[in-house]
Structure 1
Amino acid sequence: MLRLEVVALYAGVNILILLVLAVLVMMGRRKHKIVLGDGANEDFNRAVRAHANAAEYIPAGLIGLVLLALLDPAVPLWLLHAAGLFLTAGRIFHGVGLHTGALNAGRGAGILLTWISFLLIAGGLIYAGFAQQL
């Protein structure tokens, strides 16, 4: 599997996560008859926050993965898979966790996995940046 194909896999799944969360927001708007804002509805607000949080984290993670893939020789393939898997699992856990309650293990695990992904991506990019200079 080529590096950009690895990234394509994780990008596709994460875009689907964003789509599912967006559909849940739309369905919540219809169900609660909310046209703008969150209508002070706690359930709907959780759906909005789940989508917004994913929209905040997923693009940065995917941009980092693409850059890692493009820095071909300096970045091992396992790093792309680890970062992509942690990002994807983290976004799933966090989205489900936000939908099921205010504070729970899903949210905690989700953000932890996402942050581990970001650390892997950041470390890989910094390493690759220096490796290209040497």
Structure 2
Amino acid sequence: MVLPVTLVIAAACAVINIWLAVRLVRGRLKGKVMVGDGGDPAMLSGMRAHANFVEYAPIVLILMALIELARGPQVALWIIGAVFVVARIAHPLGMGRSAPNPMRAGGAMATWIVTLVLAGWALAIVLGGESTSSFTIAPVEAPRG
């Protein structure tokens, strides 16, 4: 089964991940820092922004995929996925600015809200029987001959 919403959001996340990595590599080359942060606050900020993304993206994508498999409404999934992508772009942009700032805080808050909404939605599917689809895994017969 193809999961179009999750696949598009996962592709967007892959691009964001590469963008964050490239930002770090540029900083490493400029500051000649091959391991760690080299005591550079900007490098530390970039490393944390990248790590923060990697900490949140997998659980959000897993929840989205499972909800999509359970036949969650695609429009709602598109909206929540778009909010997550925008939040994960805003957060690292805000990390490079002096704290507190609305991009960093807004990105973090939106990420938390998306994660909590998806977690609640997943629980509602299980506890409330919200799924409109059921499937079973049938054994595959070996080819004859």
- After TM superposition, the score normalised by the length of structure 2 is 0.83
The residue that corresponds to 1:5 in the other structure is 4
The residue that corresponds to 1:95 in the other structure is 92
Instruction: Say if 2:114 is the partner of 1:131.
Output: no
Alpha-carbon distance between aligned partners in 2 of 1:17 and 1:133, rounded to the nearest angstrom: 32
The residue that corresponds to 2:136 in the other structure is none
Alpha-carbon distance between aligned partners in 2 of 1:8 and 1:85, rounded to the nearest angstrom: 12
Is 1:82–1:117's contact at 8 Å kept on the other side of the alignment? no
Question: Structure 1 residue 53: deviation in Å?
Answer: 0.7
Structure 2, unpaired ranges of 5+: 132-145
The one-letter code matched in structure 2 to 1:92 is I
Runs of 4 or more, structure 1, over 4 Å off, are none
The residue that corresponds to 1:39 in the other structure is 38
Superposition pairs for residues 70-89 of structure 1, below 5 Å? 70-72=69-71, 75-89=72-86
Question: Structure 1 residue 46: deviation in Å?
Answer: 1.1
Is 1:90–1:110's contact at 8 Å kept on the other side of the alignment? yes
The residue that corresponds to 1:107 in the other structure is 104
The one-letter code matched in structure 2 to 1:21 is L
Is 1:68–1:125's contact at 8 Å kept on the other side of the alignment? yes
Alpha-carbon distance between aligned partners in 1 of 2:37 and 2:99, rounded to the nearest angstrom: 16
Is 1:79–1:120's contact at 8 Å kept on the other side of the alignment? no
Q: Secondary structure at the match of 2:33?
A: coil
Question: Structure 1 residue 131: deviation in Å?
Answer: 3.2
The one-letter code matched in structure 2 to 1:55 is V
Question: Structure 1 residue 133: deviation in Å?
Answer: 8.3
Deviations 1:58-86 (A, max 9, x none): 111111111111111xx222321222112
The residue that corresponds to 2:62 in the other structure is 63
Q: Could you tell me the percent identity over the aligned residues?
A: 33
Is 2:13–2:85's contact at 8 Å kept on the other side of the alignment? yes
Deviations 1:87-130 (A, max 9, x none): 11111110111123332111110011111111221111011112
Structure-2 change in CA distance of 1:115 and 1:35 (3 Å): same
Question: Structure 1 residue 132: deviation in Å?
Answer: 3.1
Is 1:6–1:81's contact at 8 Å kept on the other side of the alignment? yes
Alpha-carbon distance between aligned partners in 2 of 1:43 and 1:54, rounded to the nearest angstrom: 17
The one-letter code matched in structure 2 to 1:32 is G
